[in-house]
Structure 1
Amino acid sequence: MTKTLLTLPGDGIGPEVIEQVNRVIDALKSRHGLELSVETALFGGACIDAAGEPIQASTIKRAKEVEAVLMGAVGGPKWAGVAREIRPEAGLLNLRKEMDVFANLRPALCFEALADASSLKKPFVEGLDIMFVRELCGGVYFGKPKGVDTLADGTKIGYDNAVYTTAEIERVAHVAFKLARKRGNKVASLEKSNVMDSGLLWREVVTEVHAKDYKDVVLEHVLADNAAMQLVRDPKQFDVLLTDNLFGDILSDLAAALTGSIGLLPSAALGADGMAGLYEPIHGSAPDIAGKGLANPIAAILSLEMALRYSLDASEIADKLFAAVKAALEKGARTKDLGGELSTTQMGDAIIAEL
């Protein structure tokens, strides 16, 4: 049965990078026998403009029916003044929650050809291959109560609640440990158990899951602030990094900078077996360069590679796509974020040529 990919181009550079993804899909179909049906829907600010909300109920329903969803990026200054509950980012959080994609896989991989492009010296990043497993549907982004209230004296108080249950921690911990067994067999669990009760529960539950089912995997507990320092001091000491929602958001972006450009890195958000996965480049909508043909499409193309691998049962084709990206970079293909001169479309051309 032909599988279906739902694309949500979004805002800013999102439509530009998704356009290159569609070109790659066409090449994979014609040259490598990929069987895939592709649909598209409005998302983010584009959906606010058209329908008054960042994502429509019909889109969420369809996202839960297909095998995989691939988005570009959402948001931008145009929608900064809309109510918080209908901002583009609210649509993204709602989509993640409704799809229940609780495990966010964010690789930080330094391609050999780009080791000199990192902000760190080459010996520290050459061969870097680490994976964040970030809990995506709980924590401070979703905890209740939250809000901004006006106090009796007229001043305001803003608050967010960092909440985790045992079950939420257990299920993402299982993902991290199982993934580690296929990689370097080592997990670093990051939290702030020294000052946060939710972090203390996180450490306790991860320890229990490890002791019960994964004693063969090396487990290390690292405070999140120390992990930030270690990522710029010696990033290759890590293999799989297990984090909550907030720390995973921050630290995976830090790790992305080590690879040469945030425009290189994809992500996958996975739920229970048999459920649709959500895939997206980790860069933002970059409104300052939108429409200029400057965006690096590699992160979006590698997000397709992850979708092929984890949701679309096409791992051999995923291998071919990854190899094509690697070969294009080895032959000097570079967009401006990597010090080159290629446009978004030209980088797509270079990768397609390698297919």
Structure 2
Amino acid sequence: MTGLRITVLPGDGIGPEVVAQALAVLDAVAPEVEVDVLDRVNATTFARTGAALTDDDLARIRASDALLLGAIGDPSVRSPDYARGVLLRLRFELDLYVNQRPAVLLHARLSPLRDPARRGIDCVIVRENTEGAYTGIGGTLRKWTPHETAIDADVSTYHGVSRVIEHAFRIARREVCVVDKANAVPFGGELWQRCWREAAGRHPGIATSHLYVDVAAMTLVSDPTRFDVVVASNAHGDILSDVAAAVAGGLGAAPSANLDPATGFGLYEPVHGSAPDIAGTGVANPLGAIASLAMLLADHGHEDQAQAIQTAIRSTVDKRRCTPDLGGALTTEQAAAAVIAELA
């Protein structure tokens, strides 16, 4: 349980605020963990130098066991090269092919659903993270004319699809639901369904189901208790994971992990993004960053500390010792202090 070394990218907006509180929690539960803070990777540096993530930055990240990220994005930077140069470079060069987002209802009052029997969402959205519609493959023909044509390719490979579906089966408790749009996108859809059937054959103890993405979205907001693990393509998983987070009470407390299960390396980050509209106001919810830290610890041999953090989070939310978005009145720092007090 010793020897864990993590790199931290505070990033932009509320990122540095919530990361500071996650590190305070880390110091309370596992002070022996070595932390390397890489605070030069941000929008200010990009605006000044044009560099999003340098080779030296990437080398420091590779030298660690995991990466904790606050948020990337600032309205002052209009170029997509910044976010792509950080997030997509990390995903592609570190081969973080799994995006894993648990969605768990922390308290019944946070659910937007009317029926109490269907509020208890407790599922994981597994999203393919290195293929699909976000590869940047495509182009524009006759740009700036009335006949402009823009093409983005949605890429699915047998290697990529089979390995992310295999991961979904490995973490499932009872069922894997594969989501696609094979009735309208037949070629990629057929590949996803074939890989799903092959994986199901290797895991006979796990139930399986299939939904088209529109039906899956509808079911997430009508009866999310139906799901255990959902696996989907990059774009579909991106949308469904945000829907699941909203059904679980909002983005503020939602964690995520970008993983390469083969190497064990992961990038852990809260789902909420940089939220520049509330940066510096002291109301940002730190629970997403703290829960992301718990995922990191659980994946790297600190299961007891991770479970203690999750229990403390639930307790603070139950007592309304949390930020306003979850029904409390605490500041960012106070909400993290409440978690630390529960740990004590």
Task: State TM-score, norm by structure 1.
Answer: 0.91
Q: Does 1:46 align with 2:34?
A: no
Q: Alignment length, in residue pairs?
A: 340
CA contact (8 A) 2:113 2:119 kept: no
Give the CA deviation at 1:155: 3.6
CA contact (8 A) 2:169 2:199 kept: no
Instruction: Tell me the distance in 2 between the aligned counterparts of 1:101 and 1:151.
Output: 33
Give the CA deviation at 1:154: 5.0
Which of the numbers 312, 323, 330 marks the counterpart of 1:335? 323
Which of the numbers 157, 171, 180 marks the counterpart of 1:165? 157
Q: Does 1:103 align with 2:92?
A: no
CA contact (8 A) 2:9 2:67 kept: yes
Change (3 A) 1:156 1:298: same
Instruction: Tell me the distance in 2 between the aligned counterparts of 1:272 and 1:65.
Output: 17
Q: Does 1:350 align with 2:343?
A: no
Give the CA deviation at 1:126: 3.8
User: Corresponding residue for 1:73?
Assistant: 71
Instruction: Tell me the distance in 1 between the aligned counterparts of 2:22 and 2:168.
Output: 28
CA contact (8 A) 1:108 1:265 kept: yes
Change (3 A) 1:152 1:251: closer
Give the CA deviation at 1:217: 0.9
Secondary structure of residue in 2 paired with 1:267:
strand
User: Corresponding residue for 1:123?
Assistant: 116
User: Mean alpha-carbon deviation: is it higher for 11-20 or for 89-98?
Assistant: 89-98
Instruction: Tell me the distance in 2 between the aligned counterparts of 1:234 and 1:45.
Output: 40
User: Corresponding residue for 2:86?
Assistant: 91
**Aligned 1:1-355 pairs, distance under 5 A:** 2-29=3-30, 34-41=31-38, 42-80=40-78, 82=79, 84=80, 86-111=81-106, 114-121=107-114, 123-142=116-135, 144=137, 146-150=138-142, 153=145, 155-180=147-172, 183=173, 185-196=174-185, 197-211=187-201, 213-310=202-299, 312-355=300-343
Percent identity between matched residues is 39
Instruction: Tell me the distance in 2 between the aligned counterparts of 1:245 and 1:11.
Output: 24
Secondary structure of residue in 2 paired with 1:226:
helix
Instruction: Tell me the distance in 2 between the aligned counterparts of 1:103 and 1:273.
Output: 11
- Can you list the C-alpha shifts for 1:238-260, whole angstroms capped at 9, x where unaligned? 10001111000011001111111
Instruction: Tell me the distance in 2 between the aligned counterparts of 1:321 and 1:162.
Output: 38
Give the CA deviation at 1:44: 3.9
Give the letter for the 2:330 counterpart.
L
Instruction: Tell me the distance in 2 between the aligned counterparts of 1:70 and 1:46.
Output: 19
Change (3 A) 1:260 1:153: closer
RMSD: 1.7
Secondary structure of residue in 1 paired with 2:221:
helix
User: Mean alpha-carbon deviation: is it higher for 115-124 or for 238-247?
Assistant: 115-124
Give the letter for the 1:170 counterpart.
S
Give the letter for the 2:320 counterpart.
G
Give the letter for the 1:337 counterpart.
D
Task: State TM-score, norm by structure 2.
Answer: 0.94
Secondary structure of residue in 1 paired with 2:270:
coil
